[in-house]
A and B are shown apart, each in its own frame.
Chain A
Amino acid sequence: MMEAEVREIDGITVIAPRGPLDVGAALDFRNLLTGPIAVQGNKVLIDLSAVSLVDSSGVGVLVTAHRQAVAAGAAFAIAGAVGPVGRVFEMTRTNKLLSIHASVDDGLASLRDA
């Protein structure tokens, strides 16, 4: 079972999963994102600071969530993808699609302007 903290900061929903974001956590993570990204005007920031490992399933959930958010008219961004977690997005080149920020503050700033 995936653990995650969800909080609201300045009208932005910040979702911070913990531990591995892998094939074993992908379904829980997908279900957690489904509601927030489906509402027009919502702003959702995924904070990966406490994530130890992201695999291709985790990347897949984030790519799908990004596209669903865009389709619904919600704003969607990722923060804290540094070190090995950030490398996975570079290796799959999904960093070209996803809006990825080094820190939560940077991610929040980008969504305030969205």
Chain B
Amino acid sequence: MSISATFAIPSRVGAIEDARRWVTGHLQPGGASADALWEIELAMTEALANVIKHAYGGDGSQRIDLALLVEDDRVEIEIVDSGAPFNPASYVPPDLEVASDRGYGVHLIDELMDEVDRQPAGDRGTRLRLVKQGWRNRQ
């Protein structure tokens, strides 16, 4: 089984639900486990929120491109923006010993996904690749 699909949303938090529905619409019929579906939905939500808040600085007039590649035991989601690039050097992981009201997004993405890769996209922007292995119910 192999699925390849693309989708685009405006850079508004209200559109994240549309992206989740799009991914679920492809993965659920393919036998996605409830756990994998939730993990993918949450990681994607965090990634899109980061693009909207940080890369685009809350500018809702921009565009976010998504690509989905589904193979037998592997789901890959690509999220491409043309906003301010993510700077790994400026990222400070959350101190999990002290509860905070912010700063968990990247931590959750890293915990939920098997692979996370960020590359520059074009002159400006970021191509984020999220990979989840073993996404289907075991037969």
Query: In the bound complex, do residue A55 and residue B42 qualify as a contact, i.e. CB atoms below 8 Å apart?
Result: yes
The answer to whether the Cβ of B138 comes within 8 Å of any Cβ in the partner chain is: no
A55 neighbours in B (Cβ, 8 Å): 42, 45-46, 49, 105, 108
Number of interface residues of B (CB under 8 A): 29
A93 and B101 CA atoms in complex are apart in Å by: 12
Main secondary structure of the interface of A (DSSP, over half): helix
Query: In the bound complex, do residue A53 and residue B41 qualify as a contact, i.e. CB atoms below 8 Å apart?
Result: yes
The answer to whether the Cβ of A92 comes within 8 Å of any Cβ in the partner chain is: yes
Which one of A53, A61, A88, A97 lies within 8 Å of B99 (CB-CB)?
A: A97
Which one of B13, B38, B97, B102 lies within 8 Å of A60 (CB-CB)?
A: B102
Minimal Cβ-Cβ distance residue in B for A1? B14
Q: Given A60-B102, A93-B99, A94-B99, are A88 and B17 also a contact pair (CB < 8 Å)?
A: no
Minimal Cβ-Cβ distance residue in A for B15? A24
Q: How far is the CB of A3 from chain B (nearest CB, A)?
A: 13
Query: In the bound complex, do residue A23 and residue B108 qualify as a contact, i.e. CB atoms below 8 Å apart?
Result: no
B45 neighbours in A (Cβ, 8 Å): 20, 22-23, 53, 55
Listed in ascending order, the chain B residues whose CB lies under 8 Å from chain A are 13-14, 16-17, 20, 34-35, 38-39, 41-42, 45-46, 49, 52-53, 94, 96-97, 99-105, 107-108, 111
15 CB contacts below 8 A, A to B, read A22-B45, A22-B49, A23-B49, A55-B42, A55-B45, A56-B108, A60-B101, A63-B100, A63-B101, A84-B39, A91-B107, A93-B96, A93-B97, A93-B99, A98-B99
